[in-house]
Chain A
Amino acid sequence: MVTLDFTLTPEASGRVHDALTCLSRFSDSVSLEARREKLTLVALNSSKSAYAAFSLDSNGFFSEYDFVPESGADGRFTCQILIKALLSVFKRRLFDTGGRETGIERCEVSVQDQPDQTECRLIVKMVCSHGVTKTYKLTYEVVEVMHALFDKHNSRNHWKISSGTLRSNIEYFGPKTEQLDMYYDDNRMVFTSFTEKIISHDREVLKQPLQTAISIPSDCFEEFRVQEKMHVTISVKDFKAIVSHAAMKNAHISAHYSRPTRPLQFSYGTDDYRCEFTLMTAGEYNVTAAPSVAHKVSSRSVSRNPSIPSERPNGATNGATSASQMPPPSRPNQREKPRSFGKNGRKPVAEDARDESPGLFVTQDEDDERTWQPPNFEDEEETLGWDASADNDAGFHPTFRDTATARAARQEAQGVEGFEGLAPTQRLSQIRGIW
C-alpha cells in the first residue's frame, strides 16, 4: 500500500498545467514517478525519440508532500495517466485569470491504493473560495517508467540562451516543416527548419514548405562552446514545444550534446522545478572535421573516440536498449476513461466563440489580422440569436419546417442559377502554366 499525498498552491497548480500542456506535445499519457525527494512527470513519445521530464522538488515545489513507499519496493511509486484527463482538471482558466483572484485556494492530490476501496484512483481536490471543493477521481495505471539517461560530461557542445530570444524566432519556422538543423559557423549559430520530403512532380514544387534559417550570433548566447561545422538535427515540433514552455517561465535554455546520432538534452528551471528534454539527433558526423577546427571546446577532452565507450553503458537513450530492459508501457484502458472530463470537452470552443464574435459597426481593431481575414463560414458558430449554443440545425421548431417545399425550392434554385459572369476572353484551358 502506497501513501502519496501532496498539496499545491494555486501558483504551483498553474505550473503543473503548463508542464502538462508541454508534455502533451510529446505523448498522450504522462507517467508520474514519486520519490521521497521529488515527484517527476515524464512523457516519452511513441517513437521513443523524445523524452520530457519535469522534476518537482518535494520541499520547494509543494506546500505539503507526504510519500510512504510500499514496503519492499525500491522507494518509488510509478503510474501513468492520460494527459487529457489531467489537463481537464488542471485547466488553464483556473490559474490564468489575468491578475484577478484565482478562485482556488489550494489543490490536494492523493493516491488511493487501499484494498478496501476502488483501486488505482488519483484523487484531485480543488479547494476553491466560498467553501466550494471540486473532487476529481482519475484512473491511473501502474506501469514502470522509462527514463532516458544522458551523459552530460561527454556532451562537449553546450550553449545557453534566453528563451525569449528563441521564442521570438521559432514562430518563423514554417508550420509544415519537420526537422531542425543546428549548425555553428563563423561565430553564428544557425537554426534551419526544413522538410526532407523530395518533391519530384513539377507541380508540387510550390507546395513545398518554406525553408527558414535563423542565424543568431554567438554573442547572444550566455554560454557557448560548440564545435564548428557540425550539423545536428532534431524535430521542429519538439523544439517549438520546449521553447514555448520555457518562454512562459522566462527561463534560460541550456543545450548539451556531443554529436549527431547521439542524444541531445535541453534543460532549464530551478531546483524546485527542473525541466529536462532528451532528444535523439540525426545528421551526419564528419569525423575528419572534428578536432582541428574545434572552437571554444572545453579543454577537458578534445579527442572524440574515448567518449563513445563511456557513453554506451550508461548513456543509452536509444529506444532499442531501453526497451529491452523494461516492458513497454501499456496504453491506458479506454473503458476506464474517467468521467470527469467528458463534460469539459466543449469549454475551449466556447472561449473561441467569444473571441470571434463578429461585430456590426462595433469598434474593431483595424490592424488586427483577423479582422481582414475572410470569414470561415463553415467553422464559426453563428453567434446571432437566442440559442447560439444550440444545434444550428434546430434553428426553427421542426413543426414549422416544410421539408418538401424547401428541398424543391433548393433544387429549383440550383437549376436556374446560371453563371453569367464576365464576357469570357479566353477558355480556361488556354491558360497554361499557372495551375
Chain B
Amino acid sequence: MRFKAGIQNINTFNKFTASLASLSPVAWVRLDETEVRFTVIPEQGTQVWSVLSIETIFEQYTIQSAADNVVNLEVPLPSLQRALKSALNATSANIRLTKKDGLPILCLTIVSTSNAPNQFSAFGSTASRDDGPSYDDSQISNVTDGLSRHRETIITQDIPVRVMSMANVQGIHEPRCREPDVYIVLPPLLQLKSISDRFTRLAMTSRASASGGGGTASSSSSGPKLEMSANMHGCLRLGIRTDAMNISSVWTKLSNPDLDPAVVEGGDEGVLQHPSTRMKELGDAEGRSEEGWATVRIDGRDWGKVMSVGRLAGRVIACFCHEHALILYVYLSNSDEDRDVSVLTYYVSSYSP
C-alpha cells in the first residue's frame, strides 16, 4: 500500500479540512487513481460526502494498493488541520502514508525558508563564519542552491491514522433522498452565517430565560430549530420561532439554477415531471405569497457548524425537500467553465415542527 503526493493549494486543503473538522473529529478518506473522497458521518447531525479531483489539493500523486489501487483511511481531522496549518507558509509540502513503530501514519514533510534575521544573504554568509560548513570549490555553481537548502527549516508532522479494510467501508452508503422541490443558490455564507448564528443565539437566550435558566439550552437534542424555506422565484427565508418571538429574514433575487435534462432521470420529460417544475408555478419573486415554499427545520447549532464551509468561498446550491431534508452542494470552483468536479455534499436533516 503506497500513497505519496505533493500538496498544492495548501490553503484550500487547510480550509477544507477545517470545514469538515467542525462537524466531526474523524473522516473517512478514500484515495484512488482519479479522485480523493472525504466523508464525515457524525453520530448526530449533518453528514458530508465530498469528492475532490486530485489536482485540487495534490500534485505528483502516487497511489498503489492490492485492492485496485484504492486506499481507505480513517484520519483525525484536528490533527490533519493542525499539520496543514504549519504548512501555510511553506515553500513545499509532501504527504505520504508510512509506518512508525508498526502503526500507520500520514507523514507531512513541510519545507519552509526560515525567517531568521541572520538569514541567507546574497553576500555569501559562510565567509564570515569560521565554524560554518565549507563548500567544495568544484560546486561553486551550486553554492546558491546549497545555501538556500541549508537555510531551510523542515517540519515533519506525523498524524496517526487507521487503515480501513474493504469490508469496513463496504457498509457505508451515501444517503438517498427523493427529488428536491426547490433548488436555489444561497446568498454569501458570511451573511447567512452571521444571521443564523444570531437567531440561534437569540432563541437560546429566550429559552433559557423562559425556563428559568434550566439545562434545556445546553442539551443539544432540543436546541433551537431554524426554519428555512425557499421558492423557485429566487426567495430564501430564514426564521426562528419561539414562544416569545417570531423573526425571519428574506432574501430575494437569488437564482434558481435550471436542471440539466442530461442528468435528470427521464430526460426532458423527467424535468417536466420534476417537483421543482411544479413549484415554479407557485409563489412569487417578492416572497409575499404563502404558496410555493419548500420548508425545512434544521438544528441551529448543527447549522452553525455546516456554515463553517463558507471559508472555502465556493458556490453553494441548496436543494430543499419539503419537510424532509436540505442538501447543500458546495462547489470549490466558482466558474461554470471550470471542469473541476470537486464538490462537497452536505446532508442536513429536517425536524418535524
- Chain A positions within 8 Å of B, measured between CB atoms, are 161-162, 164-165, 168-169, 171-172, 174, 187-188, 202, 205-217, 219-220, 222, 224, 296, 358-362, 364, 366, 369, 371-375, 377-378, 380, 382, 384-385, 392-396, 401, 403, 406-407, 409-410, 413-414, 416-423, 425-426, 428, 430-435
Chain A residues lying within 8 Å of B28, measured Cβ to Cβ, are: 434
* Option from A371, A385, A432 in Cβ contact (under 8 Å) with B168: A432
Q: Are A382 and B205 in contact (CB under 8 A)?
A: yes
A359 and B197 alpha carbons, distance in the complex (Å): 10
Whether a CB of chain A sits under 8 angstroms from the CB of B259 is no
Whether A216 contacts B313 in the complex (CB less than 8 A), given A209-B79, A210-B79, A384-B201, comes out as no
A240 and B225 alpha carbons, distance in the complex (Å): 43
Q: Are B79 and A413 in contact (CB under 8 A)?
A: no
A222 and B132 alpha carbons, distance in the complex (Å): 10
Whether a CB of chain A sits under 8 angstroms from the CB of B305 is yes
Given contacts A360-B195, A382-B205, A419-B349, 17 further A-B contacts (CB under 8 A): A174-B82, A206-B74, A206-B160, A213-B157, A216-B114, A220-B114, A358-B197, A359-B194, A371-B190, A375-B197, A384-B198, A384-B202, A384-B205, A395-B208, A417-B221, A417-B222, A431-B172
Contact with A along B191-219 (1 / 0, CB 8 A): 10111011011101110111111101110
Chain B residues lying within 8 Å of A209, measured Cβ to Cβ, are: 79
Whether a CB of chain A sits under 8 angstroms from the CB of B260 is no
B255 → A minimal CB distance (Å): 21
Which chain B residues (6-64) contact chain A, with CB distance < 8 Å?
15, 18-19, 22, 25-26, 28, 41, 43
B57 → A minimal CB distance (Å): 18
* Option from A373, A430, A435 in Cβ contact (under 8 Å) with B171: A430
- Can you list 5 A-B pairs with a CB-CB distance of less than 8 A? A206-B160, A213-B156, A406-B210, A421-B349, A423-B175
Residue picked from A211, A378, A413, most chain B C-beta under 10 Å: A211
A425 and B165 alpha carbons, distance in the complex (Å): 21
Q: Are B155 and A372 in contact (CB under 8 A)?
A: no
Chain A residue nearest in CB terms to B111: A215
Q: Are B211 and A410 in contact (CB under 8 A)?
A: yes
Chain B residues lying within 8 Å of A188, measured Cβ to Cβ, are: 154
A213 → B minimal CB distance (Å): 4
Contact with A along B152-185 (1 / 0, CB 8 A): 1111111111101101110111111110000000
Whether a CB of chain A sits under 8 angstroms from the CB of B86 is yes
A428 and B162 alpha carbons, distance in the complex (Å): 20
Q: Are A409 and B243 in contact (CB under 8 A)?
A: yes
B: interface residue count bin: 35 or more
Q: Are B200 and A375 in contact (CB under 8 A)?
A: yes
Chain A residue nearest in CB terms to B103: A205
* Option from B115, B198, B243, B313 in Cβ contact (under 8 Å) with A360: B198
Chain B residues lying within 8 Å of A419, measured Cβ to Cβ, are: 349, 351-352
Q: Are A392 and B103 in contact (CB under 8 A)?
A: no
A131 and B41 alpha carbons, distance in the complex (Å): 63
| Leading 5 A-B pairs by shortest Cβ distance | A433-B168, A393-B213, A395-B209, A372-B311, A172-B86
* Option from A187, A208, A220, A416 in Cβ contact (under 8 Å) with B116: A220
Chain A residue nearest in CB terms to B211: A406
B178 → A minimal CB distance (Å): 8
Q: Are A169 and B155 in contact (CB under 8 A)?
A: yes
Whether A377 contacts B176 in the complex (CB less than 8 A), given A206-B162, A360-B195, A422-B349, comes out as no
Whether a CB of chain A sits under 8 angstroms from the CB of B345 is no
Whether A377 contacts B201 in the complex (CB less than 8 A), given A205-B160, A420-B349, comes out as yes
A337 → B minimal CB distance (Å): 30
Q: Are A222 and B171 in contact (CB under 8 A)?
A: no
A347 and B15 alpha carbons, distance in the complex (Å): 33
Whether a CB of chain A sits under 8 angstroms from the CB of B317 is no
Chain A residues lying within 8 Å of B194, measured Cβ to Cβ, are: 358-362, 364
